Structure 1
């Protein structure tokens, strides 16, 4: 036993290979000086569901990964990840409609503002590129707000303006279902782009300095929005369709159009959006669940949910999800960079909105470290990595601000 102990200790103490040491040292230097800005994080809803809408109860100053109600985000991991800013999503369920959608959105905004107030030494509210930079100078993570679904304005431009006044800096035009004036990428096309009211929404967002977010929208809506917008657009948490043909991802012709628009795609780490193999696995899993619960040939049609859950657990054990790694995320980044250019790609992890876990080693908000290390090994310069990390979204924000100011 003692001999094995000392062998294990010696192995644990063995230095990293020179190449790994070099990448790790470069990574630490890079994150110390270059801001990381993530475009999408669903922590506010997780706080609502798991912690009774109490930011204080979530205890973000500690390790939330090991909490009884675990999270993918906390202040120590934001620091380790080198964050200068995080866009917090004030998502609401699409089943919440009408005035209730507005009320619930306001409650979500309140959670973000209370979360920042609970940690004044670590977080600061921000709505502009300059405010992000000012927060970083005093060692705080700038907290920005994005609303995830056009239904949250309840067809009323006054609600859009009021959200902006409360600090909401972007609106994702749709979520997983169509709304009256725009199509979702995961629903049956209805308006094939925009209605006249949709064009009014884009024009008003440009006027008041609100970023148009096209994640979740259909390709026709993407194209129509880019054509209509006088300011750069974003995809706050999307990937490339050519790498993984999931309807949540962005086709190459749309990626190419970002060069003229000035917008960016902020890469998502949800394995099903990253990897074609993971997407195929999820489809097989869904088909198996349908066989157990609802198909005419269902093996357990009408059986208790617990029995179905047990059978699904057996299936997953026998058919594990294919591994997804930082290399797969890097493939997404590099494809977007090839088609749109390195000025048009960023980071939008979708942490705390991911169903299940992220890629290997990228389970929480500090996971971007692995992506940067992978891209360093692939020959990316610090200059281009800085654009990816945060420089590109800062440029987009300044472009939106300039358009609103008439410059």
Structure 2
């Protein structure tokens, strides 16, 4: 999601051998979780630590071994908590703002990729770059976190297929077609539509990603773009950090008719931990607060102290709706019911969301066992938990790799925006 300022008032969670939550996990349940995650790597589809390093920490990859409380903005991710969370694979997002275009977008994306490669090099005992599904499993067996690169917006190509290919050569294995703004590929879920889904250049980009073996990421795109990309892609598509729209009616979430399409196409929805995409009460509260803020600013124009006091009074009378681990499980249950257990995954969006707007216990990478414990309480089988953890995204990656091999004889695309496919 768009970078939001992390809540500076919240200190980094203290991690125990169980989870970052105050709620203990029964030792027998934890042993079961460990058995599952020893066989199958837990792979998260979206983490924004590289952006935090770039924007909040002066490009420095130092001091990420553990803790983080000494930082002005506490992080959700470090090496110790990755291990406490039993993380086996991570797609690191190389996000840049959707307003950055053209050659500047390409330059900034390269700088973000450099952050990831420097991060991996700085922690060789913890991280290792991965390029294939086999790499992830090999790295997991060695006790390290397989580190992949995901580009979070088609605007980052700068309209250049050559840039896309170079991102892939440097390790990028997914591309989100849009971010918060409609671009020269596709319509965004959070902007006015322009193309009715994908345009010709967007279809050419999907085809070129299939040829390269990159995963087509449909988080942030409009429902029409979701459907068009699913129809266009020869390989499984993914939503690296999205939720179920039937549970929370936010346009960033995935409607049931799109979930149903994934059953036959092998796609995966990796669930996001942001309260704004989890909780319908929070969505309605947020809209009401925005309306109240606009009202008091208009009512007390030129009187910032009075408008601020009035908004504080409203906040006091309207507490923020809470979200918990059970709400994340509700989204997973719904996706599993509609699309099937073969189509669920995890994409927490950690370090890309406010610290205090993730459910307690899930506001750091140490918290995944808490979610697994909740799903075990709900009756999820070991086989389905393994699919959720990493089995499904590994299958999607292998599908993309097979499609790429079958397209090896095709020449690179030279398509440009505004020209027919």
Could you tell me the TM-score, scaled by structure 2's length? Answer: 0.87
2:406 alignment partner, SS class: coil
Match of 1:30 in 2: 36
1:368 matched to 2:373: no
2:186 alignment partner, SS class: coil
Higher helix share: 1
1:174 alignment partner, SS class: coil
Deviations along 1:85-123, one digit per CA (max 9) or x if unpaired, are 100101101121111111111111111111111111111
Query: Where do 4+ consecutive residues of structure 1 move more than 6 Å?
Result: none
1:39 matched to 2:38: no
Partners of 1:272 and 1:256 lie apart in 2 by: 24
Partners of 1:380 and 1:204 lie apart in 2 by: 37
Partners of 1:33 and 1:400 lie apart in 2 by: 23
1:405 alignment partner, SS class: helix
1:103 matched to 2:107: yes
The match for 2:91 among 87, 105, 121 is 87
* CA apart distance, 1:77: 0.9
Partners of 1:351 and 1:19 lie apart in 2 by: 22
1:273-284 equivalence runs, <5 A: 273-284=277-288
The match for 1:48 among 46, 54, 68 is 54
Match of 2:405 in 1: 405
2:46 alignment partner, SS class: strand
Match of 1:76 in 2: 80
Could you tell me the TM-score, scaled by structure 1's length? Answer: 0.90
* CA apart distance, 1:54: 1.1
Partners of 2:40 and 2:307 lie apart in 1 by: 48
Cα RMSD of the aligned pairs, angstroms, is: 2.0
Contact 2:181 2:187 in 1 (8 A): yes
1:338 matched to 2:337: yes
Match of 2:324 in 1: 325
Cα gap change, 1:318 to 1:64, in 2 (>3 Å): farther
Structure showing greater relative contact order (alpha-carbon pairs closer than 8 Å, 6 or more residues apart): 2
The match for 1:290 among 268, 291, 294 is 294
* CA apart distance, 1:34: 3.2
Partners of 1:236 and 1:273 lie apart in 2 by: 13
* CA apart distance, 1:18: 12
Partners of 1:280 and 1:171 lie apart in 2 by: 31
* CA apart distance, 1:343: 0.3
1:125 matched to 2:129: yes
Cα gap change, 1:172 to 1:302, in 2 (>3 Å): farther
Match of 1:347 in 2: 346
Cα gap change, 1:78 to 1:18, in 2 (>3 Å): closer
1:397 alignment partner, SS class: helix
* CA apart distance, 1:128: 0.6
Partners of 1:18 and 1:228 lie apart in 2 by: 46
Match of 2:389 in 1: 389
Partners of 1:18 and 1:236 lie apart in 2 by: 29
2:174 alignment partner, SS class: strand
Contact 1:157 1:201 in 2 (8 A): yes
Partners of 1:157 and 1:45 lie apart in 2 by: 24
Q: 5+ residue gaps in structure 1?
A: 1-16
Contact 2:244 2:253 in 1 (8 A): yes
